[in-house]
Structure 1
């Protein structure tokens, strides 16, 4: 199937509401009780937060949920996990194929297809990923749109990849991470991340939209889930469903925690932001009512499973 993915903006539905009004601080993995603080940021930072929110929503629409997280495994019986496994296995091959097509399309380009753009194109093909793929696709979307601040693909604690809008050496940058289960936008200072553990993988300083990134987001030939399932069940994995979930739980039981339970990177998701104290501050944990209801059910279901089976479901990495 050939699918053209838009790099345009997305809108929240009229029934959207802040997640912290529906979920508890514990359910959102906040660092403490909600404080409902207001932070004043520069107009450029607020603009970057709006951009990050749009990109996170776009990436979630295209990739679904993190393939190596516990909550999606509980919610969809393994579809996200299987797509993520396929993305990891096939990234090199799909990226190479995209790079070859890029050379044919842009024979006079000074360089080949950017690594992150090729990776973003690759994960669009399987419509799933782990954190690296989510970050690469988000980075590609930002480059395709253009941004008023430097864009950084960053490695956190040698264990997680995310995007920053803004240079942490000069300001409080915006954290962009569609891989977290609740796609909340915040600033680095209001996140649970230690700035000293962030290492830059890739950086883009040009504020103009990049036509190469735009190309990477378009004309992606997607793989049907049935094809992905056929490939993976022919080797190691059961088909999506209860047997697949059991396989992943037993794998977690036998090994060091390889699955994550990361719901939000924000220390306090109730924090609102404004660029003018005279204007109303806006929340950045807004989700549709249906998404919130689904998230609540999934969190409750996972926490029950983790309590009943701490050596399986309960083995999880958190930040």
Structure 2
């Protein structure tokens, strides 16, 4: 079976990455616009309606507008923007997040691709919340660093230009990052997490870390208990893996260039303090890889077809 796929925003960083993963597959027919017709509204609308699947790699407002241009009931949409991640009527595209989530994605007509930072955060936190090890009302903090490709073409040009920024630069200092509502909703927390991201001078890769004072929780879970819950949650996943913590060896490059997600439970058993750490590629499982995985699931293909694991 061959399906027709249109990447709306194929010239952007995420769109290019998705195109690379889909190119050459004999089960995918990519519908494309020439450079001269990329801004032709009628030509674009035609492909939006001709496709079996549309992957939106657009700014939020443009993604919302693109959905309104689809005038049929057969075109199914994967939105890689932030526009629909907490919206009604959209299925959250994180297959490993909940039991039954993959089935929900397979049956959905509208799927929102998760954000890169929320992917690492939710993979670490949601199973522990679901198991009752993390209280739903706990004021969780999440610290993260990402490669500069996550900022798109403008940030890539900034870091690769003649006067690049500092090696590490914190941002979203006003604690109003657009990923925070997504983190709260899909972790099912009562309070917004405190999110402290930074961009660093490496092209791709990401570390997401959640520090936890386990000794202050009612159930006082151990590091072993936390790791056991995570291993059980992802035991059947070919993409999400839980590995033993190896002191001082976690690096932002650990999963760069792949579509996998690696989780670790680190910390001090005697003091009851934990550091949950996720590494992933911000353009892989954090963006393009996730979109391709969702496409595979929706189309009935092997979920990991075209992915680098």
Q: How does the TM-score come out when normalised to structure 2?
A: 0.24
More strand by share: 2
Whose relative contact order is higher, 1 or 2, with alpha carbons under 8 Å and at least 6 apart? 1
Q: How does the TM-score come out when normalised to structure 1?
A: 0.23
